Amino acid sequence: MSYDTLIDKAKEAREMAYVKYSNFKVGAALLGKSGKIYTGCNVENASYGATICAERVAFTKAISEGEKEFEAIAIVSSSEDVTYPCGICRQFMSEFGLDLKLIFTDEKKISEHKLSDLLPHAFTDF
């Protein structure tokens, strides 16, 4: 699976974003270890707080379809700059493994980070 494919899927998903309040579109494409891709977009809400980010939509779709292990997630937004996941999404994703690769692009270059680098000293279990 090339990262280009994953990024293309994230861009497709971004078009579905429901962004009535921020007008900031985010798309994510999550590659499961099975080889299947799960996409997500942000879905906003009039209460603001009930808004769900693209990354968590992709993860909840995957988990609810039985996928339990993940390789990588590509994240794109309507900004020209790289959009890094919010703190809630970093914590949410860490539940399923800190080795996850995060793929970003700002249209000029592709960059890759491990989740453990974006969430050092993660809270995991108690």
Which of 10, 14, 37, 44 forms a contact with ligand THU (CB under 6 A)?
44
Which of 78, 83, 91, 116 forms a contact with ligand THU (CB under 6 A)?
83
88 is a contact residue toward ligand THU (CB under 6 A): no
CB environment 64-77: b (16+ within 10 A), e (fewer):
eeebeebbbbbbbb
Q: Quick one: tokens of 5? A: 């494919």
- Among the listed residues 55, 67, 80, 112, the single catalytic one is 55
Q: Which residue has the tokens 């906003």?
A: 44
5 is a contact residue toward ligand THU (CB under 6 A): no
Rounded Cα distance between 84 and 105, Å, is 10
CB of 126 to ligand THU, least distance (A): 26
For residue 13, which of 48, 51, 43, 44 has the smallest C-alpha distance?
43
42 is a contact residue toward ligand THU (CB under 6 A): yes
Q: Which residue has the tokens 């794109």?
A: 76
39 is a contact residue toward ligand THU (CB under 6 A): no
CB of 87 closer than 8 Å to CB of 55: no
115 is a contact residue toward ligand THU (CB under 6 A): no
Q: Is 55 a catalytic residue?
A: yes
Span between the terminal Cα atoms of the chain, in Å: 35
List residues with catalytic annotation.
55
* Interface residues toward ligand THU, by CB under 6 A: 19, 22, 24, 26, 42, 44, 51, 53-55, 83, 85-86, 89
